[in-house]
Amino acid sequence: MASRKSEKLIHIARRLFETEGFHTTGIDRILAEAGVAKMTLYNNFGSKDGLIVAVLNRSSKDMIDRLKKIVAEASTDPCEQILGVFDALAMWFSDPEFCGCMFQAAVAEFPDPQSKPAQAARAHQGAVADMFAELCTNAELPDPQALGQMLAMIASGAMCTARQTQTREPADHARQIAEILLERACSTNFTPPHAASSAKSV
């Protein structure tokens, strides 16, 4: 279990699914590039859909882990950390190999909301929103849950627009919007996070 072969399959399949789509990428293509026999795939994942789900789950975990790490290394200030996510997006979009968010593609290719890939995409969107919400909580911002969802939505819009327009601009726009949003949230009704010594209201 978790053999070297199935790891290789996940790794190769992820790259192919990302760059060429789920339906258009045939099983034979994955097997050839991974140098793995067909039966190994079916013994480990049961079906192509099984492999797809495995790839999605792995990708979600990897992406969020990596984001948290980048963000933690970027700054100790919670608000700066939130903006760091959008800086990471900008770097991602600048990569010539950038080809959009896998999970948005998964939802598009598997329209049935009950399908496993759609569920995985839904879970991923939730995980991203939760990550943002956690950072908002750290920043002592009001209503971190809603704010987290908004930030995740802005990030989604940036990813999808970057894919459509083939530019990195959306990341910068998204960062600006996030800045404005955080500024507003800070000044509304809670203690400003940057002036930590001030008295709490009421």
Q: Where along the sequence are the contacts to a second copy (CB under 8 A)?
A: 19-21, 23-24, 99-100, 103-105, 107-111, 113, 121-122, 125-126, 146, 149-150, 152-158, 160-161, 163-166, 169-170, 173-174, 176-177, 180-181, 184
* Per-residue contact string for residues 117-156; x = within reach of DNA by CB under 7 A: ----------------------------------------
* 116 near DNA (CB under 7 A): no
Q: How far is CA 101 from CA 17, 19, 23, 42, 156, in A?
A: 11, 10, 16, 27, 8
Per-residue burial over 64-97, b = 16 or more CB atoms within 10 Å of its CB, e = otherwise: eeebeeebeeeeeebbebbbbbbbbbbebbeeee
* Per-residue contact string for residues 5-44; x = within reach of DNA by CB under 7 A: xx----------------x-xxxxx-----xxxxxx-xxx
| Cβ–Cβ < 8 Å for 125, 152 | yes
Helix, strand, or coil (residue 81): helix
Structure tokens at 69: 């790490």
Given the rule CB under 7 A, which residues bind DNA? Answer: 3, 5-6, 23, 25-29, 35-40, 42-44, 47-49
